[in-house]
């Protein structure tokens, strides 16, 4: 089989790495890929913001399977267009991807189907926000409706702050068109959990759960990022909780989407808050998470190609995945200044020494390769990952590997999975 992965991040490197392990794969392509993926797949140029560019690439390569990494191509309708041409493609249609592309759609959907989520109000003007604020306690969460790459959520300490953030969103200055509509939400407290399932439009198969670390600084301080690290262990959720999440969240979502005529195929990423009132949905993503995919796929022992095909062909069953009981962890090494402005083109050293540490795999995100050397080419540069029977050992390995890697301005969190270690 010839497989094409669309995307250029750490998630896509992990997908390429895992898909290639399948004996069914004869050739891997990735578009556009990155400096590390070049060594594991043939990288091809593409503009992921342009449906035409992706369709031209599809016509040139005609892969037996296309796997879409990021959300944008899904929202442009890549799956709809590939499917119409008879090209096998993994992921949800544009209509189904609204669960991620519109927070108001997701909130109203959750309410219609009585799936637990924070209380909310949808507002189309600052006046509506001021009026709605009287129904919320503080702090209150202010969210841009559309896609904002992690920059569309603010936890406001006062009503004045909430109103002024909402005004910024409406003005278009903060997150562009994504802020044309604003969702206010009750602020939930608890541990966050990334719970992903594979869906074929009717049935779901859960993946092992993971925990992301969204804030840039140790102890969950500083601004939000795309994700600074993630881990997964056998006991991050127990079997009872996993079954509850399947039957009270994932399945009702998939059944609800089907009933509403927008069948959901692909990965359904449920971003949850584990509150004292039980698990509640914070958000959906219609794709694999980044960096969660790195530790999740490090624990996968069965064939990923088979699983993704089962989604496309409508034959998912709960036992589609076989998982190791090992723990895995991914630590993101980022450019100086990220998630604010940062410089690129810094030479990266120590990658071979890091990769030689037992159980370690270094996934590339924002890197490029020139004359055999690697350089930084993005905010999140590397996802240094490790697997071991115990979480403690996986952490020792991953931080040993991080210590061997250097580039000007590099920073990373030293407390990934810190809360799990305290427990
Ligand atoms: P979202 O894009 O909706 O997942 O929001 C990004 C991040 O903001 C989440 O991962 C949470 O850390 C935080 N967040 C979002 N909604 C809430 C909420 N209702 N209560 C508390 N924190 C939230
Ligand atoms: N790690 C969060 C995301 O992929 O959106």
CA neighbor of 325 nearest in space, from 254, 232, 242: 232
Distance 192 CA to ligand 1 centre (A): 9
Phi/psi region, residue 164 (left: phi>0; alpha: psi -120 to 50; beta: rest), is: alpha
Mean pLDDT of 34-45: 98
Contact residues of ligand 1, CB 6 A cut-off: 118, 141, 143, 153, 185-188, 192, 214, 271, 282-283
Q: What is the pLDDT of residues 218-274, one digit of tens each?
A: 999 998 899 999 999 999 999 999 999 999 999 999 999 999 999 999 999 999 999
CA neighbor of 31 nearest in space, from 51, 57, 56, 50: 57
Contact residues of ligand 2, CB 6 A cut-off: 212, 227, 285, 289-290, 292
Q: Choose one of 283, 287, 291 to mutate for the ligand 1 pocket test, by most ligand atoms within 8 angstroms of C-beta.
A: 283
- What's the pLDDT band for 423 if we cut at 50, 70, 90? confident
CA 128 to each of CA 69, 103, 117, 183, 299: distance values in angstroms, whole numbers, following the listed order: 36, 17, 21, 11, 47
Distance 255 CA to ligand 1 centre (A): 25
Distance CA 191, CA 41 (A): 37
Supply the residue whose CA is at minimum distance from atom 8 of ligand 1: 153
Contacts of 350 (CB under 8 A, 6+ apart): 404, 405, 406
CB 297 within 8 A of CB 323: no
Hey, what domains does the chain have and what are their CATH numbers? Answer: 2-91 (3.40.50.20), 119-186 (3.30.1490.20), 191-320 (3.30.470.20), 327-422 (3.90.600.10)
Distance 16 CA to ligand 2 centre (A): 18
Angle at 269 between CA 41 and CA 297, to 5 degrees: 40
- What's the pLDDT band for 46 if we cut at 50, 70, 90? very high
- What's the pLDDT band for 149 if we cut at 50, 70, 90? confident
Q: What local confidence, expressed as pLDDT, does residue 170 receive?
A: 96
Distance CA 117, CA 29 (A): 39
CB 259 within 8 A of CB 242: no
CA 232 to each of CA 208, 293, 386: distance values in angstroms, whole numbers, following the listed order: 7, 10, 11
Distance 154 CA to ligand 1 centre (A): 8
Percentage of residues in the chain with pLDDT exceeding 70? 100
Q: What is the pLDDT of residues 115-124, one digit of tens each?
A: 999 999 999 9
- What's the pLDDT band for 151 if we cut at 50, 70, 90? confident
């Amino acid at each position: 089989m010839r497989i094409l992965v669309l995307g250029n991040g750490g998630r896509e490197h992990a997908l390429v790495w895992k898909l290639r392990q399948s004996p069914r794969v004869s050739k891997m392509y990735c578009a556009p890929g990155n400096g590390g993926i070049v060594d594991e797949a043939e990288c091809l140029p593409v503009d992921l913001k342009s449906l035409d560019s992706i369709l031209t690439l599809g016509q040139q390569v005609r892969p037996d399977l296309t796997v879409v990494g990021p959300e944008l191509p899904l929202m442009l309708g890549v799956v709809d267009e590939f499917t119409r041409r008879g090209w096998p493609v993994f992921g949800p249609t544009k209509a189904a991807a609204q669960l991620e592309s519109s927070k108001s759609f997701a909130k109203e959907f959750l309410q219609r189907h009585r799936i637990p989520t924070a209380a909310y109000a949808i507002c189309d003007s600052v006046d509506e926000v001021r009026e709605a604020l009287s129904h919320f306690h503080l702090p209150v969460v202010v969210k841009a409706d559309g896609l904002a790459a992690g920059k569309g959520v603010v936890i406001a300490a006062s009503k004045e702050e909430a109103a002024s953030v909402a005004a910024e969103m409406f003005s278009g200055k903060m997150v562009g068109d994504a802020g044309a509509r604003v969702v206010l939400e009750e602020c939930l407290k608890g541990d966050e959990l990334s719970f992903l399932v594979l869906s074929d439009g009717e049935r779901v198969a859960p993946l092992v759960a993971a925990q992301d670390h969204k804030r840039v600084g140790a102890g969950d301080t500083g601004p939000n990022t795309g994700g600074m690290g993630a881990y997964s262990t056998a006991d991050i959720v127990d079997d009872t909780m996993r079954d509850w999440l399947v039957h009270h969240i994932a399945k009702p979502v998939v059944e609800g989407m089907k009933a509403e005529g927008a069948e959901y195929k692909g990965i359904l990423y449920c971003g949850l808050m584990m509150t004292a009132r039980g698990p509640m949905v914070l958000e959906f993503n219609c794709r694999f998470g980044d960096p969660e995919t790195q530790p999740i796929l490090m624990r996968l022992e069965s064939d990923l190609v088979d699983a993704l095909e089962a989604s496309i062909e409508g034959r998912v069953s709960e036992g589609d995945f076989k998982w190791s009981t090992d723990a895995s962890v991914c630590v993101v090494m980022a450019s100086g200044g990220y998630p604010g402005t940062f410089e690129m083109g810094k030479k990266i050293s120590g990658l071979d020494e890091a990769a030689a540490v037992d159980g370690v795999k270094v996934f590339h995100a924002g890197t490029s390769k020139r004359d055999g050397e690697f350089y930084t080419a993005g905010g999140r540069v590397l996802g240094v990952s490790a697997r071991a029977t115990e979480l403690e050992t996986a952490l020792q390995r991953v931080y040993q590997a991080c210590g061997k890697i250097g580039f000007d301005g590099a920073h990373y969190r030293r407390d990934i999975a810190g809360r799990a270690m305290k427990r």
